Amino acid sequence: MMICVPATSAITAFSIENVPVAEVALGEVFECETADCYGGQMGSETVLRPEIDMAQFNRATGPVRIAGVEVGDAIRIDVHAIDIADHGVMALSPGLGVLGDRVHQADTRIVPFTDGNAWITPDTPVRIAPMIGVLGVAPAGEAIGSSWPGAHGGNLDTRVLQAGSSLLLRAAHPGALLAVGDLHAVQGDGELGGTGVEVAGRVRLSVERVAYAGRLPAVRHAEGLSILASAGTLDEAVRLGFSEVVSLIEAWRGLSWADAYRTSSVIVRAEVSQMVNPLATVRVTIPREWCPEDLYAASLL
């Protein structure tokens, strides 16, 4: 029987101090039920974001201990499926998002889903593309709040983390202590308004140990490998992510650093995952044809 972790077993910070709520074996498929990022508090358009308990914000279901994972292991978290509820929520609030200074009054929109669309208004359908906002493991040092992205994963808010993709992370503790939450029915690059279509749902995952030299989170998807780098500014995040890309190309192709730098400059693309969390996150993508074949072994794609 598949292990199913309820949304009531959730954390608001990634930490070694969190007690595992379940344990699974390597390769074992398990399911996590997730509340939306507001913890289900915004079930009506009369409820406004400034009125809710933000201590319940971005709760991530878990942690789940992965038996057989040791300190320093590179792990691949395969996303088998994302099932979402029949509606989501989008909140406006003063200061929220890139243009938050233009928002003078809080406003809540319940967004229904029909025919594969999220209806922002009755005349404004947007195609659903479910994705995971928060997915990570316990960090090496102090606890990190679930609203923060980092080398441990966390609140990465990158739209390519969908069913069929995989997140590569490095375990800092035995069992990794994985947690997941903050599903979006759809989100644009940058999450510029400070929100995707926030939604509750269920995620089916499995974890494998892999041979991978990268140190930053990376998403393996149909188009390639996206290195996810988070920093205080977009410039710093791009520098961090591109530095890792050059090192990977150098190792994979047996090139000098200078030639890997030249090559990376003409094959990769840099995109913004989100710029509204405490740290900005970019993804620097290496096209699939430049990735080693074994990186796509056991691919869900």
pLDDT band for 122, please (50, 70, 90 cuts): very high
Report pLDDT for 25: 98
User: What crossing angle do the helices spanning 257-267 and 234-253 adopt, rounded to 10°?
Assistant: 120
Q: Which residues pair with 269 in a beta bridge?
A: 285
Report pLDDT for 82: 98
Give the right CATH number for 219-292 from 3.10.28.20, 3.10.20.90, 3.30.200.20, 3.90.1310.10.
Answer: 3.10.28.20
DSSP calls for 227-267 = EEEEESSHHHHHHHHHHHHHHHHHHHHT--HHHHHHHHHHH
- At 195-233, the pLDDT tens digits run 999 999 999 999 999 999 999 999 999 999 999 999 999
Q: Beta strand pairing status for 4-5 and 30-34?
A: parallel
What mean pLDDT do residues 162-169 have? 98
Among candidate residues 161, 167, 182, 160, the one with its CA nearest the CA of residue 137: 167
Q: Are 90 and 231 in contact (CB under 8 A)?
A: no
Mean pLDDT of the chain: 97
- At 1-15, the pLDDT tens digits run 899 999 999 999 999
Report pLDDT for 150: 98
- At 130-149, the pLDDT tens digits run 999 999 999 999 999 999 99
d(CA 110, CA 177): 33
Report pLDDT for 180: 98
> Using the 8-state DSSP alphabet, how is residue 190 labeled?
B
For the chain, what are the domain ranges? 4-213, 219-292
Q: What would the CATH number be for the domain defined by 4-213? A: 2.60.120.580
- At 70-92, the pLDDT tens digits run 999 999 999 999 999 999 999 99
